[in-house]
Chain A
Amino acid sequence: MENIILKIINLNAYYGNQKVLKNVDLEIYENRVTTILGPSGCGKTTLIRCINRLHELSPGARIEGQILLKGEDLYQIEPMIVRQKIGMVFQKPNPFPTMTIYDNVIAGYILSGIKLSKEEKDKIVEESLIKSGLWDEVKENLFKKGTFLSGGQQQRLCIARALAMKPEILLLDEPTSALDPVATSVIEELIIELKKSVTTVLVTHNIGQAGRVSDYTAFFYLGELVEFGKTTEMFTVPKSKKTEEYLIGKIG
């Protein structure tokens, strides 16, 4: 039996008059990887930006409906707190250019003004970098700028930065779309590894990636949730015609 950590109820999202998500109902299970799959412009990114309330920062953006984190309505909580509970990694690696690797990892604490002792900081940095698989590569250079790393390493640094806040959910917005195949496979292995400690929602348009890393897949098309189910089942016997067409490359 799966444990529901996040429940999306009848969610509609708008940019101005344009409706980008239509009546979405979705459940995300704890310590599982759920892929949000679909072609460009289907509202995948908007969906996860609603989950950590980044959506509302765009001018003219608004939502209707409910998102419950362990039964608690996210839109009744202060957005800053929501974003500490739900971490996010973006398409393009975006470490803070003015900060060292060390500071980048604890950036969430620095930016929130949370005071930590030297030992606590060291511990968080080491743990987060180990979790993101970057520790061995950077432990000698912790006080160099994060922008000196390669693209794949920068992206893992961003994952470490998100993990350092000990989030309950990690949102990954096409985290490998700007990376080469080798760096991509490292990150995919990492996503599978992270399942033990964190619930992951992965946005991708890459069917192969969804198949390799995710337990559940939600297929979106033109702002609507077409199909949701176990990845293995959906990829072998899709229930919807649309899903099938996308999986065999007819649409997308």
Chain B
Amino acid sequence: MNEKTINRRIFNNKLYKIFVSSFSFLSIIPLFLIIYFVLIRGIKYINLKFIFSMPKPMGELGGGIFNAIVGSFIIVGVAALIAIPIGIMVGIFLSEYKEKKFTEIVKIFVDTLQGIPSIVIGIIAYLWIVKPLKQFSALSGSIALSFIMLPLVIKSTEEVLNLVPVDIKEAAYALGAPYHRIVLKILLPSGSVGILTGTLIGISRILGETAPLLFTAFGNQFLNLNLLKPMSTIPYLIYVYATSPYKDWHNQAFAASTILIIIVLSINLLGRFIEKKWKT
């Protein structure tokens, strides 16, 4: 190989590196811009009063978003309670019974479910739950959100269980352990960190969902703890306030967005932290 070709190769290598790193840099800019603009417009309205007081009636200045924060936690919490056990069980099935035809079918459905627009899931929840009950309800919102979270839990469970070495499983079989105890005592503990991280990512994903809540949980001016009644959530409140004609509500929408971003970011960082800390 002569010197010219070598120099050209070195040059190409450098060029390639520059391309790859500059696009990586570009990809983080949008997130920074989003956080920057939301923070700059929202953070000055955030104080304890904003977090812990109820909204004022339309037209009055001030008020807080306590009902929406509580509502978000309840609706997302119930959605997680539905999605986590089902998701883990389906994940176990997918990783344990790879040869079955049915497994392939389930996989295709899970992938498809992940791709379904969230507003469509909202419509389905509306048709299935809201219409028969003749009532917007927090529960219908939770169920809609659980459909969005479910594929994320299934995928992360399946992936971490696939990483559990076969010899660990065989060791458990060789001790005469029944299958259900092997899953419970060996597979799930070995995959617990990954499952937890996947769950946290799923939770932070549905925390920000608005579309499926528009015609399910609907929204509520008042603090409501009844799952069968309409309930407010942070993203829904942002949607309503941001599309209103009032300047004060616009500011509150930015403040609420800031709070939502802070919650979502902390959950994501917590997931990262857990993964780093406990992964063996």
- Which A residues are within 8 Å of any B CB, using their own CB? 52, 54, 57, 59, 79-85, 87-88, 90, 92, 94-98, 107-108, 110-113, 145, 147, 158, 161-162, 165
Once A and B bind, how many residue pairs between them come within 8 Å at the CB atom? 76
B contact residues around A92 at 8 Å (CB): 167
Give Cα distance in the complex from A57 to B9, angstroms: 51
Are B172 and A98 touching (Cβ within 8 A)?
no
Are B280 and A97 touching (Cβ within 8 A)?
yes
- Which B residues are within 8 Å of any A CB, using their own CB? 99, 165, 167-168, 170-178, 181-182, 185-186, 189-190, 192, 280
Provide the main secondary structure of the chain B interface.
helix
Are B165 and A108 touching (Cβ within 8 A)?
no
Are A84 and B171 touching (Cβ within 8 A)?
no
Give Cα distance in the complex from A87 to B172, angstroms: 11
Shortest beta-carbon distance, B149 to chain A, in Å? 26
Residue of A nearest to B192 (CB): A98
Output the residue of B99, B170, B171, B190 with the most chain A CB within 10 A: B171
Shortest beta-carbon distance, B191 to chain A, in Å? 10
A contact residues around B175 at 8 Å (CB): 83-84, 87, 107-108, 111-112, 161-162, 165
Q: Which of A52, A112, A113 interacts with B174 by CB under 8 Å?
A: A52
Are B181 and A80 touching (Cβ within 8 A)?
no
Are B181 and A88 touching (Cβ within 8 A)?
no
Shortest beta-carbon distance, A67 to chain B, in Å? 16
Are A112 and B181 touching (Cβ within 8 A)?
yes
A contact residues around B177 at 8 Å (CB): 80, 108, 111-112
A contact residues around B176 at 8 Å (CB): 79-85, 108, 111-112, 165
Shortest beta-carbon distance, B109 to chain A, in Å? 24
A contact residues around B182 at 8 Å (CB): 111
B contact residues around A90 at 8 Å (CB): 167, 170-171, 174
B contact residues around A94 at 8 Å (CB): 165, 167-168, 170-171
Are A54 and B189 touching (Cβ within 8 A)?
no
Residue pairs across A and B with Cβ atoms less than 8 A apart, 28 shown, are: A52-B174, A54-B170, A54-B173, A54-B174, A57-B170, A80-B176, A80-B178, A81-B176, A85-B176, A90-B171, A90-B174, A92-B167, A94-B170, A96-B172, A97-B168, A98-B192, A107-B175, A108-B177, A110-B185, A111-B172, A111-B185, A111-B186, A112-B177, A112-B178, A145-B280, A147-B280, A161-B175, A165-B175
